[in-house]
Amino acid sequence: MFSIIRVLTYRKAFIIYNPSAGGLRRRAQDFLARAARVLTAAGNLIETVPTQGPWTGAALARECIGRGADLLLVAGGDGTVNEVINGAVHSDVPVGILPGGTANVLATELGIGSRIEFAANLVSECTPERISLGLLRCPDQEPRYFASMVGAGLDAHIVYHISPRMKSALGKVSYWIAGFGQAARLLPEFTVEVAGRRFRSSFALASRVRNYGGDLEIARNITLLDHDFEVVLFAGVNPLRYLKYLTAVLIGQAHGRKGVTMLRADSVALSAPEDRRIYVQVDGEYAGRLPATVEIVPHCLTLLMPLGFSSRAADRDHTWTPLPTR
């Protein structure tokens, strides 16, 4: 029996690329030219548009949509993807990923990998799927949509203190170096409220994806096709506890570990003591400080997904800890 592959072509596709992204910085034009050749050979009409600095991707996405775009492709890291998503949200124009950053979390989640040319080959066979997004609200910050995750506490503290130069030079290694630098520092705890219940945590994750940073799977039972978060809470002020947590995550046994709570929810509220600064990160980028709320916005983005992603996601065994009935 033969399967029919539906091949889609786009007549006004834009590649929004970040020339400073980790995977594009030295050979951006070469990578983009090869990707464009692949896309053009498949029958797509392509125009490339560079970002002009931090947080310009959203405005570029809106501009491209205003020019009649029928596809937005993002060549860059998770931060650039996040910016374009914020410009494309609530439109009908699909967004596709051409990985070119440090971690490429969303590309890894979709099974696209880290090679931009390979991802370009997949575009015409990808399926546009309407998905839900998370929405982060922090004081003094614009509301921010996200496809992957929000983290508060330890990981956001690391993100906040990594210099752009260090990240540019060392890539993902910079996060590990900064993380080990926290070993002598007591970790402040904050309050996380989920469905009327309160928890204490020093690292809280509200995730829409399984993988974390492209290397680990922390929220192992969530998919982009779900309409809620997997919330993972790590408790404790002693940073040495995180060595045990990391080991448990690496071997897939964080579920049920003492100090680790896993829940499903469509909204989360986070608050901190008045005398402490607790940072928040979205998709690997600094996004503000607590207090904050995170909520699901249903069916608000069209994302290109590789053939078979939906069936693979449906086959996953959900083993999260449900909230008890009050």
- Domain with 271, as residue range(s), is 135-299
> What does the block give as tokens for 33?
């030219």
pLDDT of amino acid 204 = 98
How high is the mean pLDDT in each 10-residue block of the chain (326 residues)? 59 90 62 87 91 92 97 93 97 94 86 87 92 96 96 92 58 50 76 96 96 84 96 94 90 90 97 92 93 98 89 54 37
Q: Are residues 267 and 199 in the same domain?
A: yes
With beta carbons less than 8 A apart as the criterion, state whether 282 and 133 touch.
Answer: no
pLDDT of amino acid 22 = 59
pLDDT of amino acid 323 = 42
pLDDT of amino acid 315 = 58
CA max distance for the chain: 66
Q: Are residues 118 and 147 in the same domain?
A: no
Q: Are residues 36 and 173 in the same domain?
A: no
pLDDT of amino acid 74 = 95
Question: Which pTM value belongs to this model?
Answer: 0.88
- Helix, strand counts (H, E) of the chain: 10, 18
Q: What is the C-alpha separation between 107 and 115, in angstroms, rounded?
A: 10
pLDDT of amino acid 114 = 79
Q: Are residues 168 and 65 in the same domain?
A: no
Q: Are residues 154 and 294 in the same domain?
A: yes
What is the Cα gyration radius of the chain?
20
pLDDT of amino acid 85 = 98
Q: Are residues 217 and 236 in the same domain?
A: yes
pLDDT of amino acid 30 = 76
CA 118 to each of CA 37, 173, 309: distance values in angstroms, whole numbers, following the listed order:
12, 25, 16
Q: Are residues 75 and 173 in the same domain?
A: no
Q: Are residues 29 and 149 in the same domain?
A: no
How many domains does the chain divide into? Answer: 2
Q: Are residues 148 and 252 in the same domain?
A: yes
Q: Are residues 34 and 114 in the same domain?
A: yes
Q: Are residues 287 and 150 in the same domain?
A: yes
Q: Are residues 43 and 185 in the same domain?
A: no
Q: What is the CATH number of the domain that holds 112?
A: 3.40.50.10330
pLDDT of amino acid 2 = 41
